[in-house]
Amino acid sequence: MTDTPTATLLLVDDEPHVLAALQRELRHEGYRLLTANDGEAALAHLATEPVDAVISDALMPGMDGIEMLARIQHEHPDCLRLLLTGKADLNAAVRAINEGHVYRYIAKPWDATELRQTLQLALAHQQAQREQQRLEALTQDQNRELSELNATLERRVAERTAELQQTADMLDAAYGELEQSYVTATRVFSSLITQRLPKDLQTNATVSELLKAFADQHELDEETQRDLQMAAALYNLGKLTWNDHLLTAPSERLYAADRDAYRRYPESGESLLMALEHLEGTAKIIRHHRERWNGSGYPDHLREHAIPYGARLLALAVDFVELQRGMILPRKVPRHSVLALLEKFAGRVYDPALVAPFVELCVEHAPDLGLGGKKVLSLETARLEPGMQLAQDLLSPSGTLLLNRGKALSRSLIDKLMRLEELEDVRLELLVHPPEATEDEP
């Protein structure tokens, strides 16, 4: 027998000797035993203290056992109900079981072992039900707590997401401001270079127009376009360290120390940009834009595709502009002749895969002339036609202005130009817009 009762039993019978017999049978089973001699007394016990099981006689004066157990079922549904009944009351006991009033019935006279086993099974079943209910309640509590936790977590995630988005927006704004500061710095540097050069040697804007047009036509990615535009503005940044006489001297006429100083300007430009991490791609283009396809360039003698793509493209644009301005050879080279030179040196100085599309761009759209994408042709006088319009000022070999840009050509004007060629023994090449098509023409 254990010190702590395993269950509280209420024994109900109107006959004292039956109650005494039940107590004798169960006193050693570890139960706490309560007794009542009628239904009213039993219900009074249940109203004041917890009872695990009730064993009641079926036939009692006043409120019989079946009626009492029915009330217990209604008022204390967790309490086990067992009915003591003789053979004469067997039908009533079966009805009580079927109607759910009792868990089991015990026949009189009872067998002591069967009585104990029936009680043990009933209480074990009750304990299992209680444990199931406890676990279900615990599960419900845990589910409720989990739902509350999920709701709290979702709210916290939403709040954190909003904070992160706000931070990202602030970073985007800061990055935009930083990028704009780089652009502003680029413009400042470019203006410093421009101020040191004569007007006809200020090439950055023209180089930029060429690269922008090429990038747009070939749909280069945004990062490459940005690096090219920065490089166009800053490619001659290293020339700021030169003496004035170097700024205006054609590069092919430089010798000894002057030539060495000239060859260092791509490296100097890169060095001046090293502290600006955002311009790392730009600095790399500037360093290598004097490399040559065959490896004979400088400063690192790179060849072919080892030369960065942007540097190969910048080299074409710079040479195209500077040859026309007299910055490379001792004389200014006509535009059409420069294009021919680019094609001639494709595969030696320039990337052959870039030369063809670059020349086509310059011939068809002439972005360096600021023509807004209008078609332009480079023609000898014999191929000129009335209605064509000059796309560029026409200068004589001595530099005298012959015709202004925008001048419409007539037959008599074309004939005069041809006679001038015969008298001066020169060949003129004109940049012209073709006549505008009429409604009847394709």
Buried b (16+ CB within 10 A) or exposed e, 167-201: eeeeeeeeeeeeeeebeebbeebbeebbeebeeeb
Torsion of CA 217, 221, 226, 231, to 10 degrees: -70
Sign of CA dihedral 344, 347, 350, 354: positive
**In the predicted model, what is the mean pLDDT of residues 83-91?**
73
pTM over 0.85, yes/no: no
Distance between CA 46 and CA 371 in Å, rounded?
Answer: 106
Q: What's the pLDDT band for 438 if we cut at 50, 70, 90?
A: very low
Number of H helices, E strands in the chain: 15, 10
Q: How confident is the model at residue 363, as a pLDDT?
A: 83
User: What confidence score (pLDDT) does residue 437 get?
Assistant: 45
- Per-residue pLDDT at 88 exceeds 70: no
Regarding the domain delimited by 375-442, which CATH topology (the fold level of the hierarchy) does it fall under? Molybdopterin biosynthesis moea protein, domain 2 (3.90.105)
Taking residue 262's Cβ as centre, other Cβ atoms within 10 Å add up to 19
In sequence order, what are the beta bridge partners of 346? 350
pLDDT band at residue 372 using 50, 70 and 90 as cut-offs: low
Mean of pLDDT over the chain: 85
Q: Given a cut of 60, is residue 201 above it in pLDDT?
A: yes
Type of residue found at 349: V
Q: Computed from CA positions of residues 248, 250, 253, 259, in that sequence, does the dihedral angle turn out positive or negative?
A: positive
- How is residue 74 written in tokens? 């209604």
pLDDT digit string (tens) for 400-411? 778 888 889 999
Q: Is the CATH code 3.10.310.10 the one for domain 197-372?
A: no
More confident residue, 251 or 296: 296
Q: Do 65 and 12 touch, CB atoms closer than 8 A? A: yes
How many C-beta atoms lie closer than 10 Å to residue 60's C-beta?
21
Residue whose C-alpha is closest to residue 353's, from 343, 362, 365: 343
Q: What local confidence, expressed as pLDDT, does residue 80 receive? A: 92
Cite the DSSP H helix spans in 37-89: 39-48, 65-75
Four-point Cα dihedral 353, 354, 360, 365, nearest 10:
150
**Digit-coded pLDDT (tens) for 353-364:** 999 999 999 888
The model's pLDDT over 5-35, given as tens digits with 9 standing for 90+, comes to 789 999 999 999 999 999 999 988 889 999 9
- The reported pLDDT for the residue numbered 178 is 57
**φ, ψ at 309 (rounded to 5°):** -55, -50
Please say whether the structural domain 8-110 has been given the CATH code 3.20.20.300.
Answer: no
Say if residue 158's pLDDT is above 60: yes
For residues 337-357, give the mean pLDDT. 94
Query: Is residue 114 classed exposed, middle or buried when 0-12, 13-18 and 19+ CB atoms within 10 A define those classes?
Result: exposed
Identify the pLDDT of residue 192: 64
| Cβ atoms of residues 89 and 57 within 8 Å | no
Lowest mean pLDDT among 122-131, 263-272, 362-371: 362-371
Confidence of residue 179 (pLDDT cuts 50, 70, 90): low
Between residues 257 and 45, the one the model is more confident about: 45
Pick the closest to residue 22 from 61, 54, 60, 48 (CA basis).
54
pLDDT at 98: 67
Distances (CA, A) of 215 to 127, 172, 226, 228, 231: 83, 25, 10, 9, 13
With pLDDT > 90 as the criterion, what percentage of the chain qualifies? 34
Residue 183 has pLDDT above 90, yes or no: no
pLDDT digits (tens, 9 = 90+) for 380-436: 899 999 999 888 888 776 667 788 888 899 999 999 999 988 888 888 888 888 886
pLDDT over threshold 50, residue 1: no
Domain ranges of the chain: 8-110, 197-372, 375-442
Indicate the burial class of 291 (C-beta count within 10 angstroms; 0-12, 13-18, 19 or more): buried
The DSSP H or E segment spanning 10 is: strand 8-12
